[in-house]
Amino acid sequence: MRFRHLLTLISVGLIVSTTIYLPFIRTTCPPTGLSLRELAVLNNTKVGAAVGVSYLRFEPLYQETLKIEFNSVTDEWSMKWDVIHPNKDSYAFTDADFIVDFAVRNGMAVRGHSLVWHEALPDWLTDYNWTRDELLTILHEHITTLVEHYKGKVYAWDVVNEALNTDGSLRSTIWLDTIGPEYIDLAFQWAHEADPDAILFYNDFGIETAGPKQDALIELLRGLLQRGIPVHGAGLQMHSSNTSPPPAQLATAIERISNLGLQVQVTEMDVQIYDDVGTFEEKLQRQADQYRGALQVCLDNPACTGVTLWGFTDAHSWVYWLLGHSYPEEAPLIFDPDYQPKPAYFAMTKVLGERYCQLQP
């Protein structure tokens, strides 16, 4: 009896002392043994990854790594038109719901991607000559249905994706060609009406670097704001390489957008090593520098509210499909195909750890 009392006393003592002291031990500077996700939380930011539903469904290590290391997810495929709206009068939410429910269950934020894009469109939509009014009705219904379906679960949407050409003109798409440039204003308005709490982004690639496309982005955003359109931020995709963009260019892009009073997120980062020179290890070090640099400049500007990677393991990346290279000639993400953290992972955790320490009184 006495022995049991002693055991109880010891257990209670352990629990109380751990509860009191653990937060201090775990957040000593620099913090040790914390995951990317824990460090992101300490820095009050989001570090996310794009998720493929087939990997999430069938690979336990994929699930485990995702929930330990990231506090935000983006669905890589299944919120796109061709998957989620396969027929004019029906929606297929199962795959996207699987990802969103996983994220919500595990306390992760969800970025919705994307409501209006020129790719991944179903044949029923592209193989018919819609009138302007018909296409407006279809777009309105699509945006309203998706945003309402995920209301309260998706906190931010890429409303319009890749509407600009490299020279800064508007891209010729079914949307522009049939509706005219107002499709952009309308898409934001309709998304806002469906969920007034959602943060609405314009998302594109190649706007991280100086040039006509970045200038056009700034003008596009300025125009939206002047017309009172509910746009809240710009997403910089950041499909990068070991040499481009230099972090200083990203910092300038973030500053230009934040000067408009908008927030910025890095939304699809990966870093290709294929074109770089040197040994595999040297390439991985330079890749780590790119991830470190991007995270650092994002943390430097309070308008930058998160960094999402386009995948997280080198076993699964769209880059292989895009350019036809295979591992290890290409290896764009922060975990290797066996889920082992790469130098880029350690660079990111180090930046977050150091930043957290700088902010302590």
CB of 318 to ligand XIL, least distance (A): 3
| Annotated active-site residue in 38, 162, 208, 330 | 162
Residue 77 or residue 345: which is nearer to ligand XIL going by CB? Answer: 77
Q: What residue ranges bind ligand XIL (CB under 6 A)?
A: 76-77, 161, 237, 268, 318
59 is catalytic: no
Q: By the 8 A CB rule, do 151 and 138 touch?
A: no
Cβ-Cβ contacts under 8 Å for 51 (sequence gap 6 or more): 66, 73, 74, 75, 76, 99
Between 67 and 80, whose beta carbon lies closer to ligand XIL?
Answer: 80
Tell me whether residue 162 is one of the annotated catalytic residues: yes
- In angstroms, give the least distance from the CB of 41 to ligand XIL: 26
Minimum CB–partner distance for residue 317 and ligand XIL (Å): 8
Task: Identify the bridge partners of residue 161 per DSSP, sorted by sequence position.
Answer: 203
Q: How near is the Cβ of 326 to ligand XIL at its closest, in Å?
A: 15
Catalytic site residue from 38, 69, 208, 268: 268
When the beta carbons of 34 and 231 are compared against ligand XIL, the nearer one is 231
CA distance 292 to 313: 17
The CA distance from 220 to 310, in Å, is: 25
Q: Which is nearer to ligand XIL, 195 or 268 (CB)?
A: 268
Nearer to ligand XIL, 72 or 161 (CB): 161
CA–chain centroid gap for 46, Å, is 9
Distance in angstroms (rounded) separating the CA atoms of residues 353 and 361: 15
Separation of alpha carbons 342 and 213, rounded Å: 33
Shortest reach from residue 244's CB to ligand XIL, in Å? 16
Report d(CA 146, CA 293) in Å as an integer. 35
Measure the CA–CA gap between 74 and 54, rounded to whole angstroms.
14
Q: How many CB atoms lie within 10 A of CB 133?
A: 10
Residue nearest to ligand XIL (CB): 318
Q: Closer to ligand XIL by CB, 78 or 290: give it.
A: 78
Question: Do 162 and 118 contact (CB within 8 A), yes or no?
Answer: yes
Which one-letter amino acid corresponds to residue 216? A
Minimum distance, C-beta of residue 316 to ligand XIL, in the bound complex (Å): 9
What DSSP string describes 260-289? TT-EEEEEEEEEE-TT--S-HHHHHHHHHH
Active-site amino acid positions: 162, 268
